[in-house]
């Protein structure tokens, strides 16, 4: 039996992300990955059962990293404004420092893999954020709305700014580059919209 080589495994993960982001799920294959990583196809099966297992494991690895960064310094008992501001800063930092992972998760979010990965991820993030939201409502710092409405107002604007940055333009083709000032201006409007 062949043993795992951490360096090769990391290279395979990097190449898999690149290929998935560049060619999408339909244009990705284990054969293409083996060639890009300069390993034999048999080597891939030391690490992964099949293509689906590889994609799921990538999602789990990078999802865990994202959750860890998102929760850095975060306490669910913070004031709503302070906690949301920290969430925005942490999330923005992670995505801006990891553009390949950001594009991978954007791609992943429109596939059945997203649900599988979300179900396998530990519930720590969901639990912390539930306590944060509940505390903010109880302290009358957050209006009570369905989760989908909350998420759409609280985080979709952040991810749109990041997407504009990656594309280098906003709607209508106007050049766009991320700035903390733009983030703060947007966040202020989000907080205002979510206050009772």
Task: Tell me what pLDDT residue 3 has.
Answer: 61
Task: Tell me what pLDDT residue 1 has.
Answer: 46
- Comparing C-alpha atoms, which of 63, 66, 42, 45 is closest to residue 54? 45
Task: Tell me what pLDDT residue 5 has.
Answer: 74
**Residue 36 to residues 14, 51, 90: CA-CA distances in angstroms?**
10, 15, 32
In three-state form (DSSP H/G/I as H, E/B as E, the rest C), the secondary structure along 78-138 is: CCHHHHHHHHHHHHHHHHHHCHHHHHHHHHHCCCHHHHHHHHHCCCHHHHHHHHHHHHHHH
- Which residues face 126 on adjacent strands? none
Task: Tell me what pLDDT residue 90 has.
Answer: 97
Low-confidence ranges of the chain (pLDDT < 50): 1
Q: List, for residues 3-15, the tens digit of each pLDDT value.
A: 667 788 899 999 9
- Look at domain 64-194 and name its CATH class: mainly alpha
CATH code, 1-47? 1.10.10.60
HSE-up of residue 92 (Cα within 13 Å, Cβ side): 24
- Comparing C-alpha atoms, which of 52, 68, 50, 62 is closest to residue 13? 62
Task: Tell me what pLDDT residue 2 has.
Answer: 54
pTM reported for the whole predicted model: 0.86
Q: List, for residues 28-40, the tens digit of each pLDDT value.
A: 999 999 999 999 9
- Which structure tokens are listed for 142? 């957050």
DSSP conformation class of 71? T
Residue spans per domain, the chain: 1-47, 64-194
């Amino acid at each position: 039996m062949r043993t795992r080589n951490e360096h090769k495994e990391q290279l395979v993960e990097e190449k898999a992300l690149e290929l998935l982001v560049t060619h999408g799920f339909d244009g990705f294959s284990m054969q293409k990955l083996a060639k890009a990583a300069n390993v034999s196809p048999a080597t891939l099966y030391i690490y992964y059962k099949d293509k689906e297992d590889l994609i799921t494991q990538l999602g789990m690895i990078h999802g865990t990293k994202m959750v860890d960064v998102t929760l850095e310094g975060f306490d669910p008992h913070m004031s709503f404004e302070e906690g949301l501001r920290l969430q925005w800063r942490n999330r923005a930092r992670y995505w801006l420092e990891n553009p390949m992972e950001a594009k991978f998760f954007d791609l992943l979010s429109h596939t059945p893999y997203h649900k599988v990965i979300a179900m396998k991820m530990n519930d720590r993030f969901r639990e912390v954020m539930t306590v944060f939201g509940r505390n903010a409502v109880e302290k009358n710092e957050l209006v009570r709305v369905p989760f989908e409405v909350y998420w759409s107002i609280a985080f979709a604007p952040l991810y749109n700014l990041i997407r504009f940055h990656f594309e280098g333009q906003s709607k209508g083709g106007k050049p766009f580059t991320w700035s903390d000032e733009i983030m703060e201006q947007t966040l202020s409007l989000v907080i205002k919209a979510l206050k009772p």
